[in-house]
Amino acid sequence: MIKTQKDYEKAVELLKKWAYHYYVLDNPLVTDEEYDKLYREVEKWEKEHPEKIDPTSPTQRIGDVVLDEFKKAKHITKMWSMEDVFDENEFIEWVNRVKKLVKEFTFYIEPKFDGVSLNLVYENGKLIRAETRGDGEIGEDVTLNAKTIKSIPLEIEYKGLIEIRGEVVIKKSDFDKLNEERIKKNEPTFANPRNAAAGSLRQLDVKITASRPLIFYPWGVGYPIEMLIEEDLREKYEKEKAQFIEKFKTYKNLMDFVYSLGFKEPPKRSECMDIECVLKKYKEFIEIRENLDVMLDGMVVKVNELDLLDKLGYTQKYPRWMVAYKFPALEKESILKDVVIQVGRTGVLTPVAILEPVDIGGVIVERATLHNFDEIERMDIRIGDHVIVIRSGDVIPKITKVLYHKRTGKEKKIPRPTHCPVCGSEVLDEGAIIKCQNLNCPARIVNNIIHFASKNALNIEGLGESVAKLLYEHGLVKDVTDLFNLKVEDLEKLPLFARKKAENLVNAINKVKGIECWRFINALGIEHIGEVASKKICEKFGIDFYKRAPEEFYRIEGFGPEMVKSLEEYIRVNREKIEKLIELIKPTNPKKEVKKSIFSGKTIVLTGTMSKPRSEIKEMLEELGAKVTNSVSKKTDYLIVGEDAGSKLEKAKKLGVEILPEKRMWEMINQS
């Protein structure tokens, strides 16, 4: 409870610490519930004492301001563009040009994020201005918007004047969610994460920017390292610049300093002594970029030695001391040749684009997802259209844009299906979702078998798509339960099924008996219930999950109405099938190892802020044999207390419950 100015200041510092660990280090210290509770207390105190609000409080990130327009802001040092090179030969040519001006140097390497550049100006430790690149000399003042980005510190320890430059990006996963929300609202979607980041940063309504999950990654320093725009500041500038160069010496050391101020560090950066090392790092970046949740379009290579930057200088457009070594393109133009319809295991019809083959980042792309027929109509995609295709990781490529200006008039509209393309049954059209209702549709049955046997389900080796189709077509498997009745002599009759292959498949099916509970649930293919949700169900209810009332599933963290409704419907329709499969497979419940300790059999309550999230400490104590409850009573053996303990502490004192500071709990665990 915040009662005094000192309490408020302490709470603000704690919130800032928690936010830094969550948004910058990706290592949360507390649960969202604990953060939100303290956030609301701080908010309440600030409303009662508006004259005493700390401008760096996390509550001050989200404003209610709607701007008429962005004001212009002049940079202290110019924000240059970067020269691009696209292959090894062009990179070596750049190195040779550098060598004509300086003989000995090393390289500093960092990722080139595909976002929008932002210049942050700090003075006396405070963020005083945030500016877009603009024309390099004058940008737009987006300070209020930048303050809503949680990975941008509002205050840093360095008290001098400094420009910290970086890229505002949005994660691929957040980009997909953002577009899904916009589709639901009938709003135009963003073409790619870069457009989403740029559009989100340049919002006149600050609340819109605050609602978008933007991230800031620093990649450089303007003042006091780079060339001033205003000549009259040169005398002071040269002194501070010399001090910076003497102190840090290399760009690597300079960026180490920047990240130490509380900024988010990129996933990979390094120093290189020679060209061979740079080329090796380039290959490493290409290998990892698909697995990163942020878009990279290249690798930045800088001359590492700060005292060489002025000597190398600038062209009219670029610094001579850095270059962007671009990756192969992941976005290309193609032509939509046809649309085929796939039927999934739940009966949903999904349109897939057949494209003129195109090489995107070294992969020949011939297909792309079209999401659903509402999306086709919204984008007005037609067969014969020229389209922009983007490929990201191993995910099926997507069409992001239709080039309407290239239409000839011969393009054909894509009709909504009225019948299932596999079984011919009339479909149920629910708008975004068109579904085949026939439970005996071959596509549904075959896809169910494929999923049932897949790696993250029962993991039946040798039972892939081609074998599943073969088993169905020859009448051996009409339902997944039929798999457990297969005999070697039946399989031997199938084309290309020698005895050894038949024996291996039967053995692989028999091996699934006793499989983990979560694999069994995941194998059922319940809509909206994947691997993570299956594990949570097993941890909470075990293999008897289907006997639970629907409302009990809401107690599982992260389970909402859509998931619970899907579970309820599946269990109601398939209860007998679940019981039959349990009898056949005999899946095992997760084992919770309980260790003997000083806390075995004790009833414990936790309160206050602790060194680890309370959920982790609760799980640990339960593994040590304790029963952890939420409320203090006469039956409570110990109340374990962290910082800022609340009403539970007072109640424990009244009831005479033994109170243990968190530090003492750890000591007792170590002793036992």
In the set 44, 72, 100, 112, the catalytic residue is 112
Nearest by Cα to 337 from 315, 309, 367? 367
Q: Are residues 418 and 333 in contact, defined by beta-carbon separation less than 8 angstroms?
A: no
Three-state secondary structure call for residue 142: coil
**Cα–Cα dist 65/123, whole Å:** 24
Cα–Cα distance measured from residue 527 to residue 529, given in angstroms and rounded to the nearest whole number: 5
Contacts of 564 (CB under 8 A, 6+ apart): 550, 551, 553, 554
Cα dist. 609→37, 45, 46, 396 in Å? 11, 19, 21, 44
Tell me: cis bond preceding 224? Omega within 30 of 0 counts.
yes
**First-to-last C-alpha distance (Å) of the chain:** 35
Q: Which two tokens stand for residue 603?
A: 């009833």
Query: Which residue, among 456, 466, 459, 602, has the nearest Cα to 532 in the 3D structure?
Result: 456
Q: How distant, in Å, are the alpha carbons of 12, 215, 257, 520 from that of 264?
A: 20, 8, 12, 40
Q: Which amino acid is at 435?
A: K
Contacts of 94 (CB under 8 A, 6+ apart): 83, 85, 323
CB neighbourhood size of 473 (10 A):
12
> Which DSSP helix (H) or strand (E) runs through 162?
strand 162-170
Q: Which amino acid is at 205?
A: D
Cβ-contact 642, 660 below 8 angstroms: no
The enclosing H or E element of 663 equals: helix 662-671
Helix, strand, or coil here: 115? coil
Which residues does residue 123 pair with via DSSP β-bridges, in sequence order?
126
Is residue 17 part of the annotated active site? The answer reads no
Q: How many CB atoms lie within 10 A of CB 633?
A: 12
214/133 Cα distance (integer angstroms)? 17
Is residue 315 within 8 A of residue 97, CB to CB? The reply is no
Contact 36, 59 (CB under 8 A): no
Buried b (16+ CB within 10 A) or exposed e, 192-205: bbbebbbbbbebee
CB atoms within 10 A of CB 662: 19
What are the start-end ranges of the H helices in 113-226?
143-146, 172-184, 193-201, 206-211
3-state secondary structure of 97: helix
Q: What is the DSSP letter of 56?
A: T
Q: Give catalytic residues, as residue numbers.
A: 112
